[in-house]
Structure formats: C-alpha cells, structure tokens
Amino acid sequence: LTGVSNHKFLSHANSLFGMGNPLLDICAVVDKDFLDKYSLKPNDQILAEAKHKELFEELVKKFKVEYHAGGATQNSIKIAQWMIQEPHKVGTFFGCIGKDKFGEILKEKAEEVHVDAHYYEQDEEPTGTCAACITGDNRSLVANLAAANCYKKDKHLDLEENWKLVEKAKVYYIAGFFLTVSLESILKVAKHASENNKLFCMNLSAPFICQFFKDNLMQVMPYVDVLFGNETEATAFAKEQDFDTKDIKEIARKAQALPKDNKKRQRVVVITQGKDETIETFPVVKTDPKYIVDTNGAGDAFVGGFLSELVQEKPLDQCVKAAHYAANVIIQRAGCSFPEKPDFK
C-alpha cells in the first residue's frame, strides 16, 4: 500500500447507513402532450396510481429511455461514497427488491460504485421503478414502488448480521419517501442513533410526504439531527404544522425548535432554495446563489455531498460546500450519474 501509509482514513467501512426505496429509474425526454395525458406537473414527485400503469409502457415504447439505478436515499449514499472514494463500502444501503432482471441491475450498479448494498429480496412484487419524465430543465418523477414497498423490519433489519451493520454506522440517512413503507424500521434506526449520540438525518422529500404522511414524519422528528428539504417541501411542511409563515428562514427556525430527544445535539435544518437564492442552514452558513438545486437528481446529490463530509466529522460549512459541489456536478449529467473521480478540496 505505497503512498497510503501516512494517509489516515477519516471514515471506516459501513460508517454511513442509508435505508430506502431502491428503484430503477427509467429516464426519457418527453413532450408536454405526454405530461398532460397523464396530468403530470413538469416538476414533481408522485407515487404511481392505477391511471399511470400505461405511462411506463408508453414511455419505453415511444421515447428513447435510459436506465439508471435510483431511489433517493440510494442515490445520496452512492454520491457520498463517490465523494469519499476510499475506503470502499463506507456507505451501507438497505431496501427491498424483487428477484428479477431489474433487481440484478440494481445489485450490479451498487457494486460498481462500491456501496455495500444488502437488499431484502422477495418474489411477490417486482423491483420498483421510477419514470423520470424530462422536459427542458424540469423532471417529473412517477414512482412505482412495487417491491420497495415490501421492506419488512422483522424479515431484514432485525436479522443479527444486518443489525450489526446498522451498529457500525455513525451517520444515518433516510429520505422521507421511506415513511410510506416502514415507519417501524425508521424508528428502530432513529432511536439507536439518538441513544448512542450518533447523527440521524432525514429529508422531507416531497410535499405529499409533509401532507399525507405527517403523522409518521412527526413520530420520527424528535430523533432528527439534520433535516433536509427544498423550498416547496418546507412551505408544505410549514402549512401542515400551522407555522403560520411562508418565510423560509422562519420555517427553518421553527423546524429547528421542534421537540428533540437527544439534547446533546442541536438540530440543523438545511433548506435548498433553487437557483435564485441562497441556501440557508441553521446555524447559518453562507452559500452561493449560482448553484441550481432542483429535482433533477441534484437534491439527492446535494445530500450525498453533505453526508460525505459529515461522516468525516468536518464542520458544517465544509459539508455545505461539498453538497454544492456534488449537486453542481450532477446537474450537468444524465440521471444521477457522476464522473470517475471528484475534484473537490
């Protein structure tokens, strides 16, 4: 190991843990007619309903599609691993897939980027997919969770060899999307983090999570050390929580002040505000407005960059800098893909 001897790794294998919905993204540039036909907003994230069944078939038939391994949490863990580079398998990921071709692709893709993925594999439902319908700079996401929705705490998380991997971690990240799947799994991990003074991070993920899964969200909130969200999600959250304000800074302050289980750590709230304004975190970190952070995978990358420094115990402003860097790289690429090596200092 020449040249490595004097290089101290700040993160060990499995020190970053993520759990969520592993999905295969089916990406295509579509037209406005397609969006209108399935009544999709240009920029949104929704769960597929019966009326979207044909959407997936039509997308593949009519447009040139690309397949990318996806799912918000999995994307963020991959980006964090890419930013860290060495050692491999700093990032662990749990989620549920089917025993099928798409599941095999997800396993291969995780291995390629050195993420230690441990999937719960079942054959009742096929591997989940997400249609990414792109028009210009916008991207409308329609997720068909399928297998991802079948994650079971007792069948996977509770197994001794899996729980050992959870215990090895010092930073945890779960996107709000997983609140629709297994609240008990999230709570088990969140409580473990809180009781052991480790960092538990969560993302609001989408307006529908703040609106229709707010009871689940608020059960987890006392354990959240770092809360991520974008402006739209923060606004939806504030409305549901009766914060009585649309001012993003005020929303962040109120979210920070919500009850917290582990009093040793003050909650940090990170709200991204698109291309026009700064991104604030509390305690306040000054950031640069020229970064576009929207729904085209950049949000997941932002979190991944942030986590890559957090797990190495870097200060907050460094975490934000890395978050911007990662988001900026991803914006310029298809899907949530990335160049071979980061060039971040």
Q: Which pLDDT score, from 0 to 100, does residue 47 have?
A: 93
DSSP β-ladder status, 128-135 and 138-144: antiparallel
pLDDT at 48 over 70: yes
Cα 15 from Cα 92, distance rounded (Å):
8
Q: What is the pLDDT of residues 168-226, one digit of tens each?
A: 999 999 999 999 999 999 999 999 999 999 999 999 999 999 999 999 999 999 999 99
Strands in 23-29's sheet, in edge-to-edge order, are 44-47, 138-144, 128-135, 23-29, 66-70
- The listed range with the strongest mean pLDDT (51-55, 100-104, 174-178) is 174-178
pLDDT at 279 over 80: no
Q: What is the pLDDT of residues 122-170, one digit of tens each?
A: 999 999 999 999 998 788 999 999 999 999 999 999 999 999 999 999 9
- Cα end-to-end span (Å), the chain: 23
Q: Which pLDDT score, from 0 to 100, does residue 58 have?
A: 95
Contact 110, 5 (CB under 8 A): no
Q: Which pLDDT score, from 0 to 100, does residue 281 have?
A: 56
Q: What integer best gives the mean pLDDT of the chain? A: 89
Contact 100, 322 (CB under 8 A): no
Q: Which pLDDT score, from 0 to 100, does residue 77 have?
A: 97
Quickly state the pLDDT bin for 298 (edges 50, 70, 90).
confident
Cα 325 from Cα 307, distance rounded (Å):
12
CB neighbourhood size of 67 (10 A): 15
Quickly state the pLDDT bin for 2 (edges 50, 70, 90).
very low
Alpha helices by DSSP H, listed for 41-144, are: 53-62, 72-84, 101-112
Q: Which pLDDT score, from 0 to 100, does residue 267 have?
A: 95
CA distances to 21, 33, 233, 239, 272 from 211, in Å: 19, 28, 10, 9, 19
Quickly state the pLDDT bin for 328 (edges 50, 70, 90).
confident
Nearest of 250, 179, 249, 258 to residue 225 by alpha carbon: 258
Q: Which pLDDT score, from 0 to 100, does residue 4 have?
A: 41
- Known catalytic residues? 300
The CA-based dihedral angle spanning residues 271, 84, 332, 23, taken in that order and rounded to the nearest 10 degrees: -80
Contact 77, 308 (CB under 8 A): no
User: What domains appear along the chain, each with residue ranges and CATH number?
Assistant: 14-21+69-125+144-329 (3.40.1190.20)
Contact 135, 30 (CB under 8 A): yes
Contact 156, 162 (CB under 8 A): yes
3-state helix vs strand vs coil in the chain, percent to 5: 40, 20, 35
Greater confidence, 122 or 287?
122
CB neighbourhood size of 237 (10 A): 24
pLDDT at 38 over 80: yes
